[in-house]
Every structure is written in structure tokens, then in C-alpha cells.
Amino acid sequence: MRFPILFILISLTSAVSVAAAEKPLKRLDVTPKTVSLSGPRGGVQLLVSGIHANGHARDLTRDCQFKVTGPARIENGYVVPTGNGSGSIVVSIGSMRQTIPFKVERFDRPLPISFRWEALAVLTKQGCNSGSCHGKPNGRGSLELSLNAFDPRLDERSLIRGAFVRFTHPVEPAESLLLKKPTLRVPHGGGKRLRKDRESYAILKQWIAEGCRPEQRDGPQCVKVEVTPNDGRVIRLGPASENQAADAAQQQVRVTAHFSDGSIRDVTRIATFSVSNDSVATVDANGLVTGLDRGQTAVVVRYLDDIVSVYLTVVRDISGFVWVKPAENGYVDQLVHAKLRQLQYLPSGNCDDATFIRRLSLDVRGLLPSMEETEEFLADKKTDKRRRLIDRFLDSREFARFWGLRLADLLRINRETLSEERAADYSRWVFETVEQNMRYDQFVRELLTATGKTADVQAANFFRTTNETKMVAETVAQLFMGSRLKCAQCHNHPYESWTQDNYYQIASVFHGIDRKQLEVPKGAKKRKPNQREVGMFIGMTAGRGMSNPRTGVPQKPWPIDVERKPNQDRRTAFVEWLTAPNNPFFSRVAVNRIWAHLLGRGLVEPIDDFRSSNPAVNVELLDALAADFQKSGFDRKHIMRVILNSRTYQRSSDTNQFNETDENLLSHARVRLLTAEQLQDAVFRLCDGPQRFAEFEHELAAADKLLATTLKENQEDQDAAAVVKSKQQRDAARARLNSYYMTQQPYPQLTSFLSAFGQPPRKTACACERREEANLDQALQLMNSGLIRDRVGRAADRFGKLPNEQFIRELYLAAVSRRPSDAERKTISDYLKAGADRGKAFEDVIWAIINTNEFMFQH
């Protein structure tokens, strides 16, 4: 297993100054300090950094002078040997200089080319084994390669012995198809991929000339790949400075591979480079990064199976920008502001109270605030009123129901798989864990190690919605590790360091899950439950790990370095690993989900796609939230409270000149369409009034009470006629309550309205199921659907008897949580007066309000 530096802590000073470029250089820093070169292919990339007085580093590799004494030459800092012997390189800029000694060995008798560590690396770098070329299943043409060389044995077979040994020609290497095709000496569907004057060509040719030697099975393995610089370096765009040309806003990257025999090789020229955000920077084949625009990007370096990312920030001076320190409330704001200041975005101000209560209510409870709540809040003069409102909403039942819905989405709770009864039990358990604010590690432990009858142990239903081993593994990885592991089922993950073996190691944890269908009880029950209702017994059997189908080797369950007794439940150690404080995923994924729900976008986005090549927009903030989450005892409400009380959450969506182009650094609130369930509920709540739901709640409470009394009167006889009757009443009351608001029930029916607005069908654990892109269907639903038509009719009943002035005021308070402006009052009042049919005019007004941006959007 490899966890590369997935989460690098970038040291960040709050006083980043753009004027740093003008500060004088303090010293030179050259990497490596000594150079040893082996054979003619043993080039080494030097990295020259200038360290300024304020500690900032900048790349001077192309700006300094090199003077070589001895058998080597140097070009842009890349040292190439020219013979055996030793010498030195003097690096100088201005008055500063440093001497790097070097030696060259084996120049006359180089080591043979390594098939895997050189030839396959070259093929990967040239893109030959990418998913759209020979790396796709069955290859392309007659050449099949493994995706990014994850299966060297397959590549060996294909290249050395494939297609009747046509690809290579050791007697006349240059006549090999492997070289003629990509140089276009014969037609090649993939176009020109190699140039004769490049190192890649030389390596392949040499490998063929040496007789196409396969990799030694017991040869040294690459154990670590290191990329420098990895100090969160900043590239400054801008006017020329003392030591740097104006167009030199560049950074050289250097890659070394560490092998099991202790050797270290410079692989800069055969590693593969890409950037995660190509509007911020580009990177060339030799690892030279060029900054384009302010922002952040990961530079992703692949060397065969290893993927390592380093993060770079590009900054640029914005003319007229002056940082005005905004108010801060806690570490969230500090870290957001540090980033904004560094990248020169000016945050928007605080949102007003009306916007705040609507935003908070929708995010926390899923529902619009009631008119009374809004008025009370607007009238409150105390300074801590926002904090108090946050606490009140977080403690409401609506909160638990709404966040229960979100969990139920991800756990795919549905009545089709589980039956009505089991789905209800399971979702009630989820609801209770939210309501009691169960520690999140505890929640996950109960879920993943659930054992017992699904009718008794609700969490065990998890293993029914995920009904086979691989599905469990992929779901667990996606939900709790933020990893889309599915790719690794058939080949090593193309964008991260999960290997195919890792996939089957995680799957092995759940391989022994035993799902035993329970017998439908025989007897004289009036209504026989069906199999789904009776449910299953979920247990764990001992057993072997799952084999990687490619190698046939059974895999140890993850984590593989833990000794387990044969009869031990393999899930226990896995959950221990998952929820351990140093787990790189668990807390970050959890807080990122919370963040995304509250702010409309994850710090890592997509929220379940954590990998080093997809960095968070604010790594420090994600780390700080994760650390706080652990410290608080995995307290989800605590994290919500921290976020909701921050200025960042409470920011206005209105932009200023210095942040209107910002999309994701949190300088202003994100305007977003209400979710499907929120929107339907908002329409219902506006048109029917909030008391309808309160009445249902009241009815259910009364029915529950009645049932309890009846049971007592009948000595707990479940089958007594009176008990059966009150039970039916209770169920009917519950059904009425549960079917009214969509945000308040764990598994809403799929309807055309909800579906148009992106309600997830709960087929997979992917957060991408909930689609948010605007489409025409949505607009038509809001304008012309039966649902809107019906509700608008009802709203005319609710408001129709009010005098115009009061109607307008209440309508605005109920719909958009604010009082109407004078202009709005006049517009609507005029409209009501002009219409001959007052009822119709009311409908028109309500229809228009529902179709305003302000109603449909959270802002």
C-alpha cells in the first residue's frame, strides 16, 4: 500500500506579502548537495532555490549560472555525464555561489535497461498505455498494454512475444515496430508519439538492442517516489524583479525514485507530469511548471504505480487591491481569510438577518422559516441572536429528520430492497443517531460491524442494501474514505495510489459476511410477513480473503499489517483503522460532507473523490476542521456549530469588484437552487402554511398516546380489536405526517417534480446521484406543473381573505423571509386592484413569487 503525501501540511504565514519578490536574496539552496551519476543515462536534475530575507523561496534554476569542471555538461540545471571521473559544479547568481561536487561511474559499462523501471516508464510517459490507446481493454491494433503499466507481466508478454514477435527486432533495433510506429515511419493511428532525438527513444532502442530483457522477478522494487519542492511553494506572477525575468514565473520540479536496494535514481525525465487546474499553471514533459493565473493547483507526478502530488500557489498583484481585515469568528475565518488575502480576493460583508434566517433554516432544517419565527428573529435586538438561533435549529426535530434524510440518501435506504418495515426501522435508527448526536466513529462502527437479525439490529440492513462483497467495499470506500475505488477492481486506479491489490484487500474485510434469509414463521398469524420483512441474519464467517483475479493471490484483509486470529471478525480491525485519529480520510471526508451541505460546495469537490491529485481549495482549513472533529470526539453538531457561527458561512452573496470572479475560495456566499425536497416543501409551506405540518405532528402524538392507553386497557394484547384499531389510526397518522414534507421523511417517493430537481434514485453511494444542473424541465415544472397549479390554488385560500396590505406583508415574510419593499408593495397592490377577479389575481401573485429567483434560490 502506498499513501503518498496525500495531505501535505503547507506551512502558511498569515502575513504573506506580495512585495516579497523585491526583497533581497539571503541565500542559495541547491538540491541535491552532491551529485552521483551512474552510466550515460544517469542524468540528474538540479534545483536551485533563492531564499529571500522573509523566508520565501523562489526557483532560480534557469536564472543562475552554472560552471562545470569535470566530465559533465549542464542544461537548464539538468546534469548529463560525459565520461567517468569526478568534478564540481559552481552555481552562482549575483555575488552568491555554491559548489556541488559530482562523480560519474560506469560511464563505459552502464547497467542494462530495466524493462519495468525504464522502458515501461517511458511508454507510460508517451501515453502509449493510456486508457484511450493501447491501455484500453484488449488494446488497440494488435498491441495490448496494461493501463499505465500496472501489470508488467502482461506488458512483457505483449511487447516481447506478442503479435508473433513483430514489435521488437534486437538485430536491427531501429527497425522494430515499437520504434517505427510511434515515430510515424509506418502509419500509426495514435500519431507521432516519439522523437528520435529524445531520451525516451534512446531508452527503448537500447532495451531492444540488449535483447528485450524482461524484468528480473527479484530485482529491486521502487519503494518511494519523492517530488521536490514540496513546501507549498508560491509562484509570483508580475513585473520583473532584481533576480528574475518578467516571464520566468516558473518552477522546476525534481523527481527521485527510491529502490529497495537502497539506490536512488533521478527519474525527472521519465516521470509523467500533469496539473489539476490548467488555468492556473501548465507543466511540460521535463517537469517545468509555468504559472498562468492566480490560483492553486496540484502538480501530479506519476512514476509507474506511484502518484505523488505537490501543491503550488500562483499569485499575482491585483491593481487597487487593499486588504481590509474583516471581522473573524474562529479558525474557519482565519484560514479562509489567509487564503483570500494571499490570492487577493476581498470578502463580501455579512448577510442581513432576513437572508440569514432563511439560509440557516434551509440548511439546518430543510424548511423555510415560518412567518412567526422570522418576525421574532428580525425584531430581536440582542447581539448573540444568530448564535442562539443556530442552537435552536440544531436542536430541533426537523434538523434530525432532514440530516437523517441525507444519510438515508447515501445509505440507499429504500423500501424496494428492505420492505416497508425494515426501511422504516433502519431510517428511524439513522434519525435517532442524528438526534442523539451519536459520535460519528460510533455510528460508523455500529454500521459496519453490525451483526444479528436485521429486524433487531437496524444497522445490519446496511449489508442488505449493499448485497455483495465488492459493493460493500466500494460503498464503504466512497462513503467513509472519499474514494471512488471502483476503478481499482480491474486495474490500479488511474488517478490515485490505490492498487488492484488494495481493492481486494478492502473487499476481503467484508468477504465473509454471511447473509442468511430467515424463515417466515409458521403459525396462525393473521397476516403473514413476507421474506423481505422477516429479513436476514447478518453474520461473519471465517474464511479466506478475496483473490486478486489477475494474480490469483488471495489478499489479506485491510489493514494488512494487523495480525488477526482466524475466528476474529475482520471488520473490527478495519473499523479501528478507519476511525483512528491518524486515518488520513475518515475525519476529512466527514467534515467535507458537512461543509458541502452547509456551503453548497465541498472543500474537496466532488465530495467523495479524495485523492492527492484533487486537492482541497483550502487544505489548511480542511485539516483544521478534521483535527477539531477528532478533538471534539467526532461530534458532528460541534463542527456544524463552528461553521454556522463563522463569518464565512454568514457572508452575503452580493459580490464586490475584488471577488466577483471568485467561484470557490469562499469570499462570498454561493447562490444555489434549493434541492428538490427543499423546493417542494417550500412551495407547500408557503401555500398551505406551516400549521398543517404542526397539526399532523399533533395528531400523531395523540394517536401514539391513545395506542399506549388502549394497550394498557387490554393488558398488552397486541391482537385485541381495540388495539388493532388504534394501531391503524396511529399508522395512518404517521403516514400523513411522513408523506407531507419531503425533507422530513427518510425515503421520499420519486416524483416527477422531485426528479426534475435532481432527487437521487439511490442506486449507488455516489454523491453525484444528486444532480444539480439547471434544466428546462425544472422551469416548466415551476411554471406549469399540476403540483404548482394545485398549491397556488390553496395559497389563494390561505391568503385570500386578508386585506391587501397584510397579504403582501405575510406573503413576503413566508416566501422570502423579509418584509416587502415599498416598490414591491405598490406593484402587487396595483396588480390586485387592476384584476377583475380577485381570486385569480391572488393566484397570479403567488405564482409569480414562486417563480422568482429569490424564492427558488438560496442566497
Partner 1 sequence: MFSILDHQQSLCDGITRRQALRVGSIGLGGLSLPRVLQAAESRGSDAAHPVRAKSVILFWLTGGVPQHDTWDPKPEGPSPSRSEFGTIATRTPGLNVGALMPRTAQLTDRIAVIRSMHTGDNSHSSSGYQMLTGIPHIPLSRENALPGAPNDWPSVGALLRTQRQDRDGLPAAITLPRHIANVGEKLWPGQDGGFLGRKFDPWLLTCDPSTPNFQIPDLSLPKDVSQLRLDRRLSLLKQVNGELDHLERHAAAGKFDLRTQQAISLLTGQRARNAFDLSQETPAMRERYGKSKFAQSVLLARRLVEAGTSLVQVNWQRIEGKENHGSWDTHLKHHESLKGWLMPIMDRSYSALIEDLEERGLLDETLIAWVGEFGHTPKINARAGRDHWGSAFSIALAGGGIKGGIVHGATDAQAGQVVSDRVAPSDYVATVLHCMGIRPETIIYDTQSRPLPLSRGQILDSLVV
> What are the backbone dihedrals phi and psi of residue 214, each rounded to the nearest 5 degrees, phi first?
-70, 170
Q: What is the DSSP string of 378-435?
A: HH---TTHHHHHHHHHHTSHHHHHHHHHHHHHHHT--HHHHHHHHHHHHHHHHHHHHH
Minimum distance, C-beta of residue 213 to partner 1, in the bound complex (Å) = 33
**Closest-CA residue to 685 (of 809, 817, 783, 553):** 817
655 near partner 1 (CB under 8 A): yes
Rounded to 5 degrees, what angle do the CA atoms 235, 236, 239 make? 150
Q: SS3 helix, strand, coil % of the chain, rounded to 5?
A: 40, 15, 45
Residue among 701 and 774 whose Cβ is closer to partner 1: 774
Write the DSSP symbol of residue 668: S
Minimum distance, C-beta of residue 329 to partner 1, in the bound complex (Å) = 24
The stretch among 276-284, 388-396, 690-698, 777-785 that binds partner 1 (CB under 8 A) is 777-785
490 near partner 1 (CB under 8 A): no
The stretch among 70-78, 113-121, 153-161, 769-777 that binds partner 1 (CB under 8 A) is 769-777
| Grid cell in block for residue 806 | 397584510
660 near partner 1 (CB under 8 A): yes
172 near partner 1 (CB under 8 A): no
Query: Is the C-alpha dihedral spanning 811, 813, 816, 822 positive or negative?
Result: positive
Minimum distance, C-beta of residue 32 to partner 1, in the bound complex (Å) = 37
Question: How far apart are the C-alpha atoms of 750 and 416, rounded to whole Å?
Answer: 12
Residue among 225 and 767 whose Cβ is closer to partner 1: 767
Q: In whole angstroms, how far apart are CA 370 and each of 395, 628, 709, 794?
A: 17, 33, 34, 17
Minimum distance, C-beta of residue 518 to partner 1, in the bound complex (Å) = 26
Residue among 507 and 674 whose Cβ is closer to partner 1: 674
Out of 691, 779, 797, 838, the only residue in the binding site for partner 1 (CB under 8 A) is: 779
Show the binding pattern over residues 691-720: x = contacts partner 1 (CB under 8 A), - = does not.
Answer: ------------------------------
Minimum distance, C-beta of residue 111 to partner 1, in the bound complex (Å) = 37
Question: How far apart are the C-alpha atoms of 590 and 635, rounded to whole Å?
Answer: 10
For 648-794, where are the E strands, in sequence order? 672-673
Out of 290, 489, 764, 829, the only residue in the binding site for partner 1 (CB under 8 A) is: 764
Strands 234-237 and 306-316: parallel
Q: In whole angstroms, how far apart are CA 601 and each of 466, 594, 596, 598?
A: 27, 10, 4, 8
| Grid cell in block for residue 741 | 414534507
The answer to whether the beta carbons of residues 233 and 52 sit under 8 Å apart is: no
The stretch among 288-296, 317-325, 552-560, 668-676 that binds partner 1 (CB under 8 A) is 668-676
Minimum distance, C-beta of residue 483 to partner 1, in the bound complex (Å) = 12
Q: What is the DSSP string of 534-556?
A: H-EEEEE---PPPBPTTT-PBPP
**3-state SS, residue 129:** coil
Minimum distance, C-beta of residue 302 to partner 1, in the bound complex (Å) = 16
Out of 515, 637, 672, 809, the only residue in the binding site for partner 1 (CB under 8 A) is: 672
845 near partner 1 (CB under 8 A): yes
Residue among 86 and 755 whose Cβ is closer to partner 1: 755
Residue among 275 and 460 whose Cβ is closer to partner 1: 275
Show the binding pattern over residues 806-835: x = contacts partner 1 (CB under 8 A), - = does not.
Answer: ---------------x-xx--xx--x----
| Grid cell in block for residue 65 | 549560472
Out of 185, 192, 783, 838, the only residue in the binding site for partner 1 (CB under 8 A) is: 783
The answer to whether the beta carbons of residues 482 and 474 sit under 8 Å apart is: no
Minimum distance, C-beta of residue 681 to partner 1, in the bound complex (Å) = 17
- What amino acid is encoded at 726 in this protein? S
C-alpha 764: how far from its chain's center?
16
Residue among 3 and 857 whose Cβ is closer to partner 1: 857
The answer to whether the beta carbons of residues 793 and 843 sit under 8 Å apart is: yes
500 near partner 1 (CB under 8 A): no
**Residues from 742 through 761 that contact partner 1 (CB under 8 A):** 750-753, 755-756, 761
| Grid cell in block for residue 326 | 474583516
Minimum distance, C-beta of residue 26 to partner 1, in the bound complex (Å) = 44
Residue among 487 and 703 whose Cβ is closer to partner 1: 487
**Residues from 595 through 624 that contact partner 1 (CB under 8 A):** none
Tell me how crowded residue 309 is: count the other CB atoms within 10 A of its CB: 27
The stretch among 39-47, 97-105, 543-551, 771-779 that binds partner 1 (CB under 8 A) is 771-779
**Residues from 121 through 140 that contact partner 1 (CB under 8 A):** 131-132
Minimum distance, C-beta of residue 854 to partner 1, in the bound complex (Å) = 5
The answer to whether the beta carbons of residues 286 and 268 sit under 8 Å apart is: yes
| Grid cell in block for residue 364 | 439546518
Residue among 63 and 777 whose Cβ is closer to partner 1: 777
> What are the backbone dihedrals phi and psi of residue 753, each rounded to the nearest 5 degrees, phi first?
-65, -50
Question: How far apart are the C-alpha atoms of 225 and 265, rounded to whole Å?
Answer: 10
Q: Which residue has the cell 397579504?
A: 807
Minimum distance, C-beta of residue 351 to partner 1, in the bound complex (Å) = 12
> What are the backbone dihedrals phi and psi of residue 371, each rounded to the nearest 5 degrees, phi first?
-55, -40
The stretch among 115-123, 251-259, 425-433, 648-656 that binds partner 1 (CB under 8 A) is 648-656
> What are the backbone dihedrals phi and psi of residue 350, each rounded to the nearest 5 degrees, phi first?
-70, 145
187 near partner 1 (CB under 8 A): no
Minimum distance, C-beta of residue 605 to partner 1, in the bound complex (Å) = 14
Interface with partner 1: number of residues (CB under 8 A): 60
654 near partner 1 (CB under 8 A): yes
255 near partner 1 (CB under 8 A): no
105 near partner 1 (CB under 8 A): no
Ramachandran region of residue 8, left (φ > 0), alpha (ψ -120 to 50) or beta? beta
Spell out the residues 6+ positions from residue 284 whose beta carbon is closer than 8 angstroms to its own: 273, 290
The stretch among 225-233, 548-556, 578-586, 850-858 that binds partner 1 (CB under 8 A) is 850-858
763 near partner 1 (CB under 8 A): yes
Minimum distance, C-beta of residue 679 to partner 1, in the bound complex (Å) = 12
How many Å is the Cα radius of gyration of the chain? 32
The answer to whether the beta carbons of residues 807 and 793 sit under 8 Å apart is: no
> What are the backbone dihedrals phi and psi of residue 807, each rounded to the nearest 5 degrees, phi first?
-55, -50
149 near partner 1 (CB under 8 A): no
Minimum distance, C-beta of residue 475 to partner 1, in the bound complex (Å) = 12
Minimum distance, C-beta of residue 416 to partner 1, in the bound complex (Å) = 10
Minimum distance, C-beta of residue 653 to partner 1, in the bound complex (Å) = 7
Minimum distance, C-beta of residue 290 to partner 1, in the bound complex (Å) = 25
Strands 306-316 and 295-303: antiparallel
**Residues from 470 through 489 that contact partner 1 (CB under 8 A):** 484, 486-487
Question: How far apart are the C-alpha atoms of 178 and 192, rounded to whole Å?
Answer: 12
Minimum distance, C-beta of residue 495 to partner 1, in the bound complex (Å) = 9
856 near partner 1 (CB under 8 A): yes
CB half-sphere exposure, 168, CA atoms < 13 A: 21
Out of 524, 784, 803, 836, the only residue in the binding site for partner 1 (CB under 8 A) is: 784
**Footprint of partner 1 on this chain (CB under 8 A)?**
131-132, 484, 486-487, 653-655, 660, 663, 670-673, 750-753, 755-756, 761, 763-764, 766, 768, 771, 773-781, 783-787, 789, 821, 823-824, 827-828, 831, 840, 844-845, 847-849, 851-854, 856-857, 859
